[in-house]
Structure 1
């Protein structure tokens, strides 16, 4: 099965110069749904299968100028990549599997990577990683 990192890398390779905004395990782990931001803030969605092949997309999402500007500001302000965030989330929940990871800005202007992590016994954890300094701000 393609790892989160492999699926993200495949998606970013399909859209040169893009930044991963979110990735989510779908269809019982057989598909990764990926959302990217192009260099101009244009968002694209695609699906990558467990073998690491793009099976749908990339599809352009017409979000409008304001959303493109918001996305570009998040990308510019984030100093941690999705790979950095995935590594932090995994170290916060040993033996956990990340099922969702996304870059989000909250009303308090806090920019975080949100991760949903599930342990082998089925316990779910929400992990938040500050996208500027990599500090885990929530684990539970």
Structure 2
């Protein structure tokens, strides 16, 4: 394992997001959700036109179950705005999350606007002892704004 890779297979979400983006060129990650103990990941992608797609990626990187999420023009415009603004990619934000909770593994992470319209990567992290951490990373600055 490379020194920068998180322990115990926690990079599975990043591998799933990469496989999904490879399957849908030009897309960006909106969310990644672990299912079935991390053996299956649901990845929500957004295209440049705001079209959302949901894909399933197994732990071997095989992509299946791709479907377009039926949204209206207002939601497409919102998604295009979210995708245009972040400076941190999913992978960059995940690295910040692992720095905040080094013994954890991400079970869900999504990009959205919160409260004061701040663009945030919001992660659910589970440690090997079963402790849950909610970690928020500012998608523009990379600052961890919440851990707990």
TMscore range, shorter length: over 0.9
Which residues of structure 2 form unaligned runs of 5+? 1-8
* Deviation sequence 1:57-97 (CA, Å, 0-9, x none): 1x111211110110010111111100001000000001110
The 5 Å alignment of 1:8-23 reads: 8-23=17-32
Structure 1 gap segments, 5+ residues each: none
Shift in Å at residue 121 of structure 1?
0.3
The equivalent residue for 2:85 is: 77
Q: Establish whether residue 28 from structure 1 lines up as the match of residue 37 from structure 2.
A: yes
TM-score (norm 1): 0.96
Partner SS state of residue 28, structure 1: helix
CA distance in 2, matches of 1:35, 1:73: 16
C-alpha displacement at 1:55, in angstroms? 2.6
Counterparts of 1:92 and 1:22, CA distance in 2? 19
**1:107 offset after TM fit, Å?**
3.7
Match of 1:100 in 2: 108
